[in-house]
Each structure stands twice: as structure tokens, then as C-alpha cells.
Amino acid sequence: MRIKYTTLLLALAATAPAISQAVESAAAPEHATLPLIPLSSAVKAPAPVLAVTSRPVVKSSEDAFRETDVWNRIRSGYAIPDLNNSLVAKHANWYAERPDHMARTSARASLYLFHVVQELEKRNMPTELALLPFIESAFNPVAVSSANAGGMWQFMPGTGRDFNLQQNAFKDDRRSVLASTDAALTYLQRLYDMFGDWQLALAAYNWGEGSVQKAIAKNRAAGKPTDFEGLADLMPAETRNYVPKLQAVKNIVANPARFGLSLPIIQNEPYFTAVDKTSDIDLAVAAQLAELSIDEFKALNPQFKRPVITGGEQTQILLPTENAEKFHLNLAQWGRALSTWTTHRVSSARESIASLASKFRTTPEVIRQANNLPSRGALKAGSTILVPKISTSANLDIPMEIADNASVTVTDEPVVTKRSKYRQAKATGKSKAPIALVKARVSRADAGKKRRAN
């Protein structure tokens, strides 16, 4: 396996509570507690910058890295006009009253926020947009909403495909730190270009651009305002609260002490680096080589849904900077197979999970767990599943075309009924009456005679 290092500017990020609009289907791993430094009234954070235009003034790369704290870097790039209403105050109070929620969200955000800020600055976009995942998912990259929106930026499946976020049996790029952030910022920029207003762009990100366009047309026809607050009465409650929630988090980041909160120290430096892989590798092996726990590895690589990471040179794994070199050194000394999995296409319904387990020298439980299958159910013909490698496939990677198009369908197992002891009478052809089930028997009278004879 050839390894190339591509250092990405990604990293430690931070805090500010957020109401997650997603149902967290899998709890993100808790990371080491970050030291909290109280910000007293004597140490005041700069107030938010009210932008005259909708674009921030871009700092030079040298200026950006002169900051020692990511929060200051975000504050200095605020550029969306402030919103000031009762909803903003309501949500700011909600966050301020829940420091535990804030701490959990901050632990997750600390892995990703630096990268988001870096990408926003590259695109000359307002840096408060880096706080949007606080609202969308509480920075949980595996969060799934009731509407099936997924990932840190909560992309719907169809919208994700529109922005080249691949979704198949092996991975979901809506969860990818790199791919989903790139797609979200591209989408937000497109919405801004459409509406010329960041608050309306945010409303469209939540509600859909078509819905915002219809609301604008309706108010324009009625001679009413067409800005965010002017359209608020036409919006569903979630969208009406969406921008106020972001403004609330923005206000807390601008001056945490005002809300009785603290922000963690986050160094303004990359947290992780990207490693390009060129052959299949088991997720557990990759974590072991990097000297990370499975949970720590998954926190940076949540897009991988199966126990093997497939794909060629285009597939990257993210590792903390200090673990990347460990990965390289341990890999050089590994001397064993990197992957123990291959794929099998189910040819017919007669291929049960039990029979496949026997064929590939494993147990049904292993196959179910590797493929995230329910405890009951049969595989439908055409499904592509992971199975352990055997000697004939030991040195072969899973072809990209198979991994990219793999799908698994499970049907209800057929109900097995006991065979009836009754014999079905045969039709003679003369009778048109329904044929009944009959059982050979003697008449009651004859049965009585037999009992008396005995």
C-alpha cells in the first residue's frame, strides 16, 4: 500500500451550544474534556461586525494565522447583518441555560471547526457560517433527521447527490468532513448568488429555494417587504427560527461572558491531516495502525459505513496530525493483509445468511453485523454483501464499480407452516362443488358396535 501525505488545514474547533434539529441516531464519541477558560467582563470579546456589504473583508493568510484562537478568527470575519428580535433572545437564553449541552457540542466541534473556517476564508464567505452545524446537527456527523437528512450539514439524499455526495452501501459522503463541508459551502454560495442576501440564503438552505422564491413573489405582489423578517409570517416555524438560532450562537461567540458562558481554548492550527490510500484496508486495521480507538477513528471518518474502507487513490482517511506519522511507521512494519473482506452478490433467495456463513467459514452473526442487517429477514437476489475473504480472493481488492453501486435489500423471511395431516380429495370432473378436506373415518354407528364388541 503506497501512502501519500496531503496536509490539510483542518482542525480544532469549538463551542457554543446548539439545538440539534436532527435525531442523533448514533451518539458521537465523547472526546477529552477541553479546558474551559472563563471570560470575565475584564476580557471582552469584540462585538460582532455589522457588515455594510454581505461579504467579509478577506484577511491575508499571514493575518489569519497570526490569531492564536479560532474563535477570534471567526469573530473578525462576521459579515451577515445582525438580526435583533425576541426569537434571538429566546434561543440565546436557551443555550445559556444549558452549559452541558454546550460542552458536548463543543467537544464534537473541536475536531472540525478549524477546517470549516479555513474553507470559508478561501471562498470569501462570512465566517459565522462556520457556526451553522451547531444549529443543523450539534456538530454530530452521523446525525439523521426524521426527514432522513444526514450529516453535519444535514443534506437530504437527493440534494446530496446533486452536489456529488456519494451514497451507497459502503459509504455516505453526507457524513464526510471534507466532502460535506465543500458541498454545503458551494450550496450556500449558490443560494446567496440567487437571492443576494445571506439571511434569505440561509432560509432557502432550510426551507428550499423554491419556497423562498414563492414567498418573495407573494409579498412583492402585495407590496410587502421581501427581506427575512418581512417573509417570516409565511415561513414554517422551523425556518422562522433558523436564522434567529444562528444569530443567538453568533452573539454568544462574540461575547460569552455576557451570557455567563465560557469557550474552550482552541489553537489556531490544523488538527488533522489526510492520507491517500491505494488499496482496501479494514477500518479496525487503519485505527490500529494510527494508534487510535475505533471511536476516535470514526469521529474523523464517519462516512465509512462498513468494516472495510474501499476505493482507490481518490479515497482519503483523516488522522490527527500526531497520529499520521505513527500510521506510516506502523504500516511499514505491518507485514499482513490490510483487508479481510470481499463482496458476494446474492444470486437467488435460496442463498440464506446461514448458508453464506457456512460457505465463507464464518457465522450468521458476523455477516449480519458487517452488513448492518436486522436480526430477522432474508437477503433479496441482487444484493451485494460483505463476506470474509477466502484463499481465492485473498489478494484482491473490491472493484470500485461494485463498491459504488452496491445495495442490500432485506425481505421478510417466509413463514414456515406445518404440513396438514388431512388429505385433499381429488376432483372427478363431474362435480362442480368445492372440494373439501376430508379425513378417513368410520360411522358413529359402526364405532359403537366395535366398542360394545370389546
Active-site residue list:
136
Residue 22, amino acid: A
State the pairing for strand pair 378-379/410-411: antiparallel
415: CB partners within 8 A, 6+ apart: none
73: CB partners within 8 A, 6+ apart: 64, 67, 117, 127, 268
**CA–CA separation, 338 and 331 (whole Å):** 9
Kindly calculate the radius of gyration of the chain based on its CA atoms and give it in whole angstroms.
30
Is the separation of the CB atoms in 73 and 127 below 8 Å? Answer: yes
Neighbours of 200 (CB within 10 A): 24
Q: Pick from 229, 187, 236, 188: which is nearest to 211 by CA? A: 236
**CA–CA separation, 85 and 17 (whole Å):** 19
Q: Pick from 263, 208, 230, 258: which is nearest to 74 by CA? A: 263
The residue whose grid cell reads 426527514 is 147
Q: Pick from 342, 355, 345, 356: which is nearest to 407 by CA? A: 345
**CA–CA separation, 342 and 308 (whole Å):** 9
Phi (first) and psi of residue 45, to 5 degrees: -75, 150
Which string of DSSP letters, residue by residue, matches 177-239? HHHHHHHHHHHHHHHHHHHS-HHHHHHHHHH-HHHHHHHHHHHHHTT---SHHHHGGGS-HHH
Is the separation of the CB atoms in 138 and 105 below 8 Å? Answer: yes
Q: Quick one: DSSP state of residue 10?
A: -
